[in-house]
Amino acid sequence: MSGPPSAPERRLGDVLVEQGVLTEAQLFDALRQHERIGEPLGAVLLARGLVTRRQLYVALAEVWGADMAFVDPMEVDTDLARLFPSAMLAREVWVPLQVERDDDGELQVVVATAGRPSAHIAQEVVDRTGIRRVRQVVTTDWDVQRALRTVWRDELVHDAVRSLAERRPDESASTVFVWQQVALGITVAAGTILSAALWFSTTMLVLVTTVNVAVALAVGTKALISTVGTAYETVEQVSDAEVEALVDTDLPRYTILVPVYKEAGIVGLLMRNLAALDYPREKLEILLLLEEDDPETLAAALAAAPPDLVRIIVVPHSLPKTKPRACNVGLAFARGEFVVIYDAEDRPDPDQLKKSLIAFRKGGDDLVCVQAALNYFNARENLLTRMFTLEYSSWFDYTLAGLDKLRLPIPLGGTSNHFRTDLLRQLGGWDPYNVTEDADLGIRASARGHRVAVVNSTTYEEANMAVGNWIRQRSRWIKGYMQTVLVHTRHPVRLVRTVGLRQAAGFALLIGGTPLMFLATPWLYLLFLAELVFPGVLVPALPEWVVLVSLANLLFGNGVIIYLSLLAGFKRRSYGLVPFALFSPVYWLLHSIASYKAAWQLLTKPFYWEKTQHGLSAHVQGGAPDGPAAETQAEDRTVQPPAPAGAGRHAAGDVHGRLAWTDVSTEVQR
């Protein structure tokens, strides 16, 4: 005999209207938006700033017929917490609270969830605790995040820092040199010193010849790759018509990771830049990753009153304090099907997310990452920014296109990398010990059979305009290249068997050859100057053909860089920058200074992250961009989207409103 029919479930919109939170007109407009984009009504209401988080979850608790609870991390049973992995809880947005006895005296586990109480959660609790009774209460997603970073703090830090090193130690830079590399280095150094003591002239001849051959191969490889790139556009061309054909309902949820450290002055700019993205707000999740020891930036972020699509995640302090460590913490909380990294000062093209999605759909299941091009909005600020802009234009327009065409491993840029979230997690995320984690991840993805593509979209960022700041940044990049070479050549035979001889050679000559070229450049200049001032002075010590090859290397290498910089300036229609390509040899010497600093730090401070100071440009301070970005961004600057309704409406004391998480893991309900 069946029982009486259960009362129909109340609808979210009706409850909010009854509680006086919404008007009928606001509900009607929100429902239309929900139907247009296919996102939960709660997400629509939050994105429009029509409700606070507390109001939404109190109403949801009533709809679901569950108790509402605001979680105090101090009340979480730590012994119970150890039974549940933080990564799973972060993705599913619930936490176990404590074990208690119900009214019948039976043990039950109390769980707080930011979604609808479900059989899945109950079964997970039963499987891990053996306790058959589970009571589920509703809480806000911010409460879940706060509990996770407090109670599961050590596990979050451990996973972010040590996960890759423990699961795949051969792919981690946590060990700088393996014993085989140390033994080889000692053997070569000792053999060279002994040989020089016994046969100095012959030893010098072998050394100079070896360096010249290596440099010639590295320069030749870069020239070949870039030449191929000049003949082809980026492989994943996406047209405006394809972007316009996208339907909002079919768009997946997208997570944006923004690691920020000691950059309080540009948080407001970040919010404005991301607000310009052409993507449904309800399907965006922006995770602002702030460091625990950086209260100034946290205060600036709170003062900016970010909209509800922004979640502020305070990354627990730990070493090494690197950007990839923070990104790994963010990845644990990411709930988007796709994830992208932007730096705090980035100005991506408004349609970049949509273009990347189309590129993924066209690229096949093995495409793990889509890289957007990078360029600078302050290109003409001084000589250094001009050279930086020409260098990046050449790299993204020609070198990456050539790598893609030749199917060689693509080292990623530090920002505007779009990933399939599931594949990124399978790769182990970023290596927190590698200070050029982006390049390493691109190589690691290739070694595992995945592909990286480049899309015809640009992110504009701030070019370094101060020499000291530039050297700090570039020395970190080059040190990371050195780390990446050391990691991926630990087992050279295995590398060749895994990726093939052509890809292994391309990796060694591009990633390994780049620091080598920079380190060798000053010595090639010295040879050139000696031969220029005192013709024939080197011939007694070195055969004439070796001197000629050294000079040819110097001239050819600089000629290639000048030529590619010229081409890049013309392709980007930055004609005012073209003459400055002639300064490439001087710019190359700056790389040499940075390279020797990088080599020293590899031995003394391998995991030290040289902080690059952002916000120095006058354009970041409020001026207009110049150079190739000027016309592209003119419309973005003059037609900024209005601030979301209620973006700054939460009272200062409403912590749940200010530290807002976007996504509401709920069903669509009225």
CA 269 to chain centre: 19
Phi/psi for 111 (5° steps) reads: -125, 140
Evaluate whether 221 touches 503 at the Cβ level (below 8 Å).
no
Of 597, 406, 590, 419, nearest in space to 507 by CA: 406
Of 476, 470, 483, nearest in space to 512 by CA: 483
Q: How far is CA 391 from CA 341, 471, 472, 566, in A?
A: 22, 15, 17, 10
Q: How far is CA 623 from CA 222, 619, 630, in A?
A: 36, 4, 11
Q: In the block, which residue shows the tokens 């018509």?
A: 241
Q: What is the pLDDT of residues 176-228, one digit of tens each?
A: 999 999 999 999 999 999 998 888 878 888 888 888 888 888 888 988 898 88
Q: What is the pLDDT of residues 416-470, one digit of tens each?
A: 999 999 999 999 999 999 999 888 998 889 888 888 888 889 999 888 888 999 9
Q: What is the pLDDT of residues 300-320, one digit of tens each?
A: 888 877 777 788 888 988 889
* Residue 333 tokens, joined: 């909380």
Radius of gyration of the CA atoms of the chain, in A: 28
Residue 273 pLDDT > 90, yes or no? Answer: no
Helix or strand run (H / E) with residue 513: helix 513-533
Q: Is the dihedral of CA 123, 128, 130, 133 positive or negative?
A: negative
Phi/psi for 138 (5° steps) reads: -100, 140
What distance in Å separates the CA atoms of residue 571 and residue 581, rounded to the nearest whole number? 13
Evaluate whether 167 touches 428 at the Cβ level (below 8 Å).
yes
Q: Is the dihedral of CA 97, 102, 108, 114 positive or negative?
A: negative
Whole-number pLDDT of residue 602: 95
Residue 265 pLDDT > 90, yes or no? Answer: no
According to DSSP, the residues that pair with 68 across neighbouring strands are 138
Residues in the chain: 670
* Residue 371 tokens, joined: 């890289």
- pLDDT (average), residues 108-119: 95
Residue 667 pLDDT > 60, yes or no? Answer: no
Q: What is the pTM of this model?
A: 0.86
Residue 596 pLDDT > 90, yes or no? Answer: yes
The fraction of the chain above a pLDDT of 70, given in percent, is 89
Residue type, 412: L
- pLDDT (average), residues 366-389: 89
- Cβ burial of 38 (10 Å; 0-12, 13-18, 19+) is middle
- pLDDT (average), residues 657-667: 31
Evaluate whether 139 touches 60 at the Cβ level (below 8 Å).
no
The fraction of the chain above a pLDDT of 90, given in percent, is 45
What distance in Å separates the CA atoms of residue 223 and residue 229, rounded to the nearest whole number? 10
Rounded (10°) angle between helices 383-394 and 467-488: 30
- pLDDT (average), residues 569-595: 89
- Mean of per-residue pLDDT scores for the chain: 84
* Residue 559 tokens, joined: 């000629």
